[in-house]
């Protein structure tokens, strides 16, 4: 077979596998489908951060702020919180806001992109550790704002979070209820899997097109040598802002999907640990390489669940002396350390980087 035909056959095989995966996992319980759903959400987050870190070379430790913005924006527009606490909004929308997905998702992407560019504007002259510290502080500021915006005006309900978030409805299909096709029932977690898979495919396509575009090559030039890129006439200021905005928009969309999927959001879901985990996914898989980033996100999202079967026997051997809450993160950290010592460019680095290492 020709290389093109071989590539198409592999793509069709992978697509078939991904489509059938949740139907197989349902046989082992809905828990494993939820793990697959969560993995797809982290894939979208990692791909968005890869635009900032992998393409433009800007270390962003506050990426979770855009994730939180998308989640809370979706929650406010689809839950009864605003109409319950603000008489003016209740008068305008007596039946509740109940904004449709074609309003909430683009709005979450646009709001996150604007916030991303606002973050990028004062950090344009910062590099390396200084940029990391500033973005880390930005992420914590957003989380603390969410916590403190429950009083005196109750906008976010503070640390208690927002509940009663309505699920997505697409083409008359309510993702909060099982869907029946020819007598076969598709669970809600499976419906969300297909929705997330569709969004991941769109995200991969956009990232791939960006990577091969003039903008993507300019980002990589800035990443490799910003001074040389500026001397060649590249507008580093605008391109950095664009990288922050594009990456943040993916985080906003993912946050909206997370809120719809969980039906509840709270500040604890957007801590610094989440930002560090997303950065680790990008580095662990291979910065700047889309397949590597996807692999890193899936492994680090699903590995803690897989380690349940390892922690259990260890607890039995030690007569319950080992704390599962400590052992699982420890085993994940050890796996990452060993892997990074073995392949310092990531599990699946970009081909040019791999050749340089060899």
Tokens at 294, concatenated: 């996807």
What value does the CA radius of gyration of the chain take, rounded to a whole number of Å? Answer: 21
CA atoms of 41 and 263, how far apart (whole Å): 15
**Residue 44 near residue 63 (C-beta atoms within 8 A):** no
CA atoms of 328 and 310, how far apart (whole Å): 9
pLDDT on residue 353: 47
pLDDT on residue 352: 65
pLDDT on residue 200: 96
pLDDT on residue 1: 63
pLDDT on residue 355: 44
Strands (E), the chain: 169-170, 173-174, 179-181, 184-186
pLDDT on residue 328: 67
- Written as tens digits, the pLDDT of the chain (358 aa) is 677 778 878 888 888 999 889 988 887 888 889 999 999 999 999 999 999 999 999 988 999 999 999 999 999 999 999 998 898 888 988 887 889 999 999 999 999 999 999 988 888 888 878 888 999 999 999 999 999 998 888 999 999 999 999 999 988 888 988 888 877 888 899 999 999 999 999 999 999 999 989 999 999 999 999 989 999 899 999 999 999 999 999 999 999 999 999 999 999 999 988 988 899 999 999 898 999 999 999 999 988 777 777 777 777 777 777 776 677 677 778 877 887 788 888 888 887 644 444 4
pLDDT on residue 235: 93
**Residue 84 near residue 155 (C-beta atoms within 8 A):** no
139 — phi, psi (to 5°)?
-60, -40
pLDDT on residue 217: 94
Chain Cα centroid distance, residue 129: 23
pLDDT on residue 358: 42
CA atoms of 284 and 296, how far apart (whole Å): 6
CA atoms of 191 and 186, how far apart (whole Å): 7
Handedness of CA 201, 207, 208, 209 (dihedral sign): positive
CA atoms of 193 and 34, how far apart (whole Å): 8
pLDDT on residue 35: 92
């Amino acid at each position: 077979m020709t290389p093109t035909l071989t590539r198409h056959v592999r793509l069709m095989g992978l697509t078939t596998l991904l489509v059938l995966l949740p139907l197989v996992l349902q046989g082992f319980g809905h828990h494993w489908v939820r793990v697959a759903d969560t993995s797809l959400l982290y894939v979208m987050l990692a791909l968005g951060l890869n635009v900032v870190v992998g393409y433009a070379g800007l270390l962003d430790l506050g990426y979770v702020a855009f994730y939180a913005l998308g989640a809370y924006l979706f929650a406010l527009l689809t839950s009864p919180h605003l109409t319950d606490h603000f008489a003016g909004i209740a008068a305008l929308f007596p039946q509740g806001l109940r904004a449709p997905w074609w309003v909430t998702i683009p709005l979450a992407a646009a709001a996150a992109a604007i916030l991303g560019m606002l973050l990028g504007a004062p950090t344009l002259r910062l590099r390396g550790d200084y940029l990391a510290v500033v973005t880390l502080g930005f992420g914590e500021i957003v989380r603390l704002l969410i916590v403190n915006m429950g009083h005196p005006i109750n906008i976010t309900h503070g640390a208690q979070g927002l509940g009663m978030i309505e699920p997505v409805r697409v083409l008359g299909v309510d993702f909060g209820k099982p869907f029946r096709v020819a007598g076969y029932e598709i669970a809600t977690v499976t419906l969300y899997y297909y929705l997330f898979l569709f969004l991941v495919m769109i995200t991969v396509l956009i990232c791939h097109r960006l990577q091969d575009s003039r903008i993507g090559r300019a980002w990589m030039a800035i990443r490799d040598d910003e001074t040389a890129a500026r001397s060649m006439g590249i507008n580093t200021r605008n391109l950095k802002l664009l990288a922050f905005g594009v990456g943040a928009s993916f985080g906003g969309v993912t946050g909206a999907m997370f809120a719809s999927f969980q039906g509840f959001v709270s500040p604890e879901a957007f801590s610094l640990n989440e930002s560090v985990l997303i950065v680790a996914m990008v580095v662990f898989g291979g910065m700047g390489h889309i397949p590597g980033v996807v692999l890193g996100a899936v492994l680090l999202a699903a590995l803690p669940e897989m380690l349940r079967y390892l922690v259990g026997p260890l607890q039995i051997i030690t007569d319950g002396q080992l704390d599962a809450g400590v052992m699982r993160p420890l085993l994940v950290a050890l796996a990452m350390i060993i892997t990074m010592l073995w392949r310092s460019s990531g599990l699946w680095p970009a081909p040019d980087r791999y050749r340089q290492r060899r």
